[in-house]
Amino acid sequence: MNDHKVKAAQMAVDLIPNQAIVGLGSGSTASIFIDLLAKKAHEEAMDITCVATSGQTQQLALGFGLKVVDIDAVDRIDVTVDGADEVDPDLNGIKGGGAALLFEKIVAMNSQKNIWVVDSSKRHPRLGSYKLPVEVVKFGVHHVYNYLKEQDLKPVYRQQEDGNYLTTDSGNYIIDIDISQVDDLPKLANELKALTGVVEHGLFIQVCDVLLVGNTGEAIYRKG
């Protein structure tokens, strides 16, 4: 296990109160958080209810003995802990490296508080080093691809190891685009959302409330 990820995950576990309804993120750092949360919940006999952001996370959490319910079985989510692929100084970020962006965003947007757990390699002065995942329904996907290409966003279909296009938990494809030359990211986010066939994108703007950085031990709070 990566020590920096463990440290960030442990910092997040320390912020989870008893009787919380917790959104569980996806990815390697979120997985460590889930492991540590389950241990704490067991040791301290905490009453924790969880909502998962992917099938993989759900299986993992159930395997650790956590109580996981459907998102529509709860009226609120107190706090969600998730990883990120890239984070800027305003705590805006790119997510979806593990293709879980749609459920992650749904859970995040319905959470009272969003905590991201990262190491400092994820922090960048501006977003765009990491490719932005765009989740697109299969029907007519190539037309969306062509449009993104025309916009000079250098689209690439996300593939599995066997060469087939990766399919998300919702049965969609992922197209990764290059946003390194895009200045107005909120405008791009709106344009992508308005594009027919696009289900979601991995730009998370003003979503993260607290960034926990494992290797420095920092807790950075979003301003405003």
Ligand X SMILES: O=C[C@H](O)[C@H](O)[C@H](O)COP(=O)(O)O
- Report, as residue numbers or ranges, the catalytic residues: 104
Q: Does 98 bind ligand X (CB under 6 A)?
A: yes
Among positions 24, 48, 77, 99, the unique one binding ligand X when judged by CB under 6 A:
99
Instruction: Looking at 44-82, list the stretches that DSSP marks H as alpha helix, in order from N- to C-terminal side.
Output: 55-63
Q: Does 93 bind ligand X (CB under 6 A)?
A: no
What CA dihedral angle connects 9, 11, 17 and 23, to 10 degrees? Answer: -30
Alpha-carbon distance values, 47 to 16, 65, 129, 161, 222 (Å): 11, 12, 40, 40, 29
Tell me the closest approach of the beta carbon of residue 149 to ligand X, in angstroms: 23
Among positions 22, 37, 82, 111, the unique one binding ligand X when judged by CB under 6 A:
82
Q: Which two tokens stand for residue 24?
A: 């569980």
Q: Which two tokens stand for residue 36?
A: 């540590």
Q: At 157, which amino acid appears?
A: Y
Pairing status of strand 218-221 against strand 210-213: antiparallel
Among positions 104, 169, 176, 200, the unique one binding ligand X when judged by CB under 6 A:
104
Q: Return the number of the residue (94 or 224) whose C-beta is nearest ligand X.
A: 94
Tell me: is residue 95 an annotated ligand-binding position. yes
Alpha-carbon distance values, 131 to 31, 84, 97, 178 (Å): 22, 12, 9, 5
Pick the piece of the chain touching ligand X (CB under 6 A) from 97-105, 134-142, 181-189, 213-221. 97-105
Tell me the closest approach of the beta carbon of residue 28 to ligand X, in angstroms: 3
Query: Considering only residues 138-167, where is the footprint of ligand X by CB under 6 A?
Result: none
Q: Does 175 bind ligand X (CB under 6 A)?
A: no
Fill in the DSSP letter of residue 120: G
Q: Does 29 bind ligand X (CB under 6 A)?
A: yes
Binding-site residues from annotation for substrate: 26-29, 82-85, 95-98, 122
